[in-house]
Amino acid sequence: MMSLYSPGETALHRLPAGTKLLGLVLAGTSLFFVADIVVLSGALILVCGAYLVANMTVKTLFAQLRPILWIVLILFVAQAFINGWQAGLVVVLRLMNLILLAALITLTTRVSEMTDTLEWAIQPLGWVGVDPRKISLVISMAIRFIPLISQITAEVREAQRARGIEKSIVALAIPVVIRTLKMADDIADAMEARGFDADPR
C-alpha cells in the first residue's frame, strides 16, 4: 500500500508517534492564541528548520503547501481587504505553521506505527463497549478492499464499453456497488467460517 511516509533515520523519524501527535495538539492549540506576526514568523522558521532536521528537501516542504496554496492566497486577499494586511498575514502564517507541522509528522511516521498508536490510544474505549480489535480489523479490511474495488470498477467499465455505454457514472456505480455488497456478504461468511466472532460471549 502506498503511503505518504518518507523513510529516514533522523531523530524526528525515531520519536514515538504518540509524542509527535501530542506535540502537534499542543502546538496547534497555542498557535490559535498567538496573533503576533513576529512570533508566528519565528515559529514558521522553526518548523522549516525541523524539515531540515528530518532530512527533507525544500521541494518536499513546498509540496506540502501546494494543495492549500490557492486557498491561502484567496484568504490572504480576502482578509487584507476586510481587516487589513496584518490580519491576513496572521491567518496565513498560522495555517502554514499548522499544515507544515502536521505534514511533517505524516512524512516521518510509518503507517503501521500510527495504527499501533491509534490502537493504544483507543484502549479506554473498551470500557464503553467498543472493541479496539475491531477497529484494527476494519482498517486492514478497508486497505484490502481498495484495490479490489478498483479492479471490479475496471471490469464493470469494460463490460459497459462492450455494450456501448461510455461515460455514465450512474451506470457504472450501480453495478459496482451491488457487486461489492455481494462480495461483502461473502467475505462476512468467510470470516465466520474461519472462526471470527463479532461479539464473543
Partner 1 sequence: MIELQDVTHRFGDLTVLKGVTLELSERRIGVIGSNGSGKSTFARLLNGLQIPTSGHVLVDGQNTRHQARAIRRKVGFVFQNPENQIVFPIVEEDLAFGMKNLKLDQSVISQRIDAVLERYDLTAFKQHPAHLLSGGQKQLLAISGVLVMDPKYIVFDEPTTLLDLRNKRRISQAIAELSQSVVMVTHDLDLLGDFDRVIVFHDGRVAADDVPRVAINRYKALLCP
Partner 2 sequence: MRTKDLVYVALFAAVTAALGLFPPIAVPVLAVPITAQSLGPMLAGAILGAKRGALAIALLLILVAIGLPLLSGGRGGFGVFLGPSGGFLVGWVLAAFVTGWLFERSWSTLTYWTGAIYTFLGGVVALYTLGIGWLAVAANLSLFQAAAGSVAFIPGDIVKVLIATTVALAVKRSYPIIEERSDG
Q: Which residues bind partner 1 (CB under 8 A)?
A: 1, 140-141, 143-144, 147-148, 151, 183, 186-187, 189-197
Nearest 10 degrees: Cα torsion 48, 107, 116, 24: 30
195 touches, from partner 1, partner 2, none (C-beta below 5 to 8 Å by class):
partner 1
User: How far, CA to CA in Å, does 29 sit from each of 12, 23, 32, 51, 186?
Assistant: 21, 10, 5, 21, 46
Which window, 40-48, 52-60, 130-138, 158-166, contacts partner 2 (CB under 8 A)? 130-138
Q: How far apart are CA 154 and CA 148, in angstroms?
A: 10
Q: Which residues contact 198 (CB under 8 A, 6 or more apart)?
A: 134
Which window, 7-15, 40-48, 84-92, 157-165, contacts partner 2 (CB under 8 A)? 84-92
Q: How far is the CB of 133 from partner 1 (least distance, A)?
A: 9
Task: Provide the total of helices (H) and of strands (E) in the chain, helices listed first.
Answer: 9, 0
Q: How far is the CB of 20 from partner 1 (least distance, A)?
A: 25
Judged by CB under 8 A, how many residues of this single chain contact partner 2?
70
Q: How far is the CB of 150 from partner 1 (least distance, A)?
A: 9
